[in-house]
Amino acid sequence: MSYINPVADPRWLPARTDMGVDWMPTVPLPVEAIGAGVVTSSVPSGSGWPSPTSKTDGAAIVYELTDPGPHQGEFVYVAENLTGLVPVGTQVSAGQQIATALPGYPWTEWGEARPPGSSASPITPYAGAPDGTPMPGGQAFARFLTELGAKPLQAPGAGPDRISTAPSGAASGTAGAVSGSSGTAVLASSPLGGVTGTLSRLSVTVVALAAAGVLGLLAAHRSTAPLRKRAADALPA
């Protein structure tokens, strides 16, 4: 089993955790598969996720992790401002490009999809919770990414790293060879502690931009559409 950190490139900026984990590409960047798997859904537009021009016209792709291990059978989605999605049925390997993420609103959201992966429906949708609420599925996926060496903006705290049922007899937590674009092997347990409450869209943006040393972009963000989806943008069941 080999997993990679799909956001190891420093040009990915972390944003908030909600139904999934939001990442902002500062330039067009490859969306890489975390591990070996098969694409189960590929929707270049009209996915129900937001796009730069519509609440529901964004792209979304889902793949199932198939290598034996604690995440076997987990469906991973990446959605929103994407192009160049590979088609359904594509067999992928860890680190293989499956789409291109574009800079600008609404950037991208990554998370665990509801089985059987026929659409990019988050495994724990808002279901009435306010937009931006860190949901169990988003926090679990943030832990998974943290184990791979990523650094989500909001520490997810201790807990499971997937919501769906793991294979029988599989150990909890991620194990195996983990690498990012830097080629450095990284493994870590889920972090302790976390950020309580929901950060406002603006504060999330300020922190992310400050961490990247590009505060000069803040004025432009203030004049654009909100960084993330509104409650009405959530996928239908």
pLDDT at 1: 66
pLDDT at 169: 57
Tokens 């680190």 sit on residue: 95
Q: Which residue has the higher pLDDT, 12 or 193?
A: 12
Of 148, 11, 168, 175, the residue nearest 76 (C-alpha):
148
pLDDT at 128: 95
Residues near 183 by Cβ (< 8 Å), separated by ≥ 6? none
Give 165's pLDDT tier (boundaries 50, 70, 90): confident
pLDDT at 174: 53
Give 166's pLDDT tier (boundaries 50, 70, 90): confident
Paired with 109 in beta bridges are: 22, 79
The CA distance from 156 to 139, in Å, is 5
CATH of 2-233, one of 3.40.50.300, 3.30.70.270, 2.30.30.140, 2.70.70.10: 2.70.70.10
Q: Which residue has the higher pLDDT, 213 or 40?
A: 40
Q: What is the mean pLDDT of residues 117-130?
A: 96
Q: What pTM, to 2 d.p., does this model score?
A: 0.75
Residue 196 has pLDDT above 60, yes or no: no
Q: What is the mean pLDDT of residues 176-205?
A: 34
Burial 191-203 (b: 16+ CB within 10 A, else e): beebeeebbebee
The CA distance from 96 to 71, in Å, is 18
Q: Which residue has the higher pLDDT, 60 or 234?
A: 60
Percent of the chain with pLDDT over 70: 70
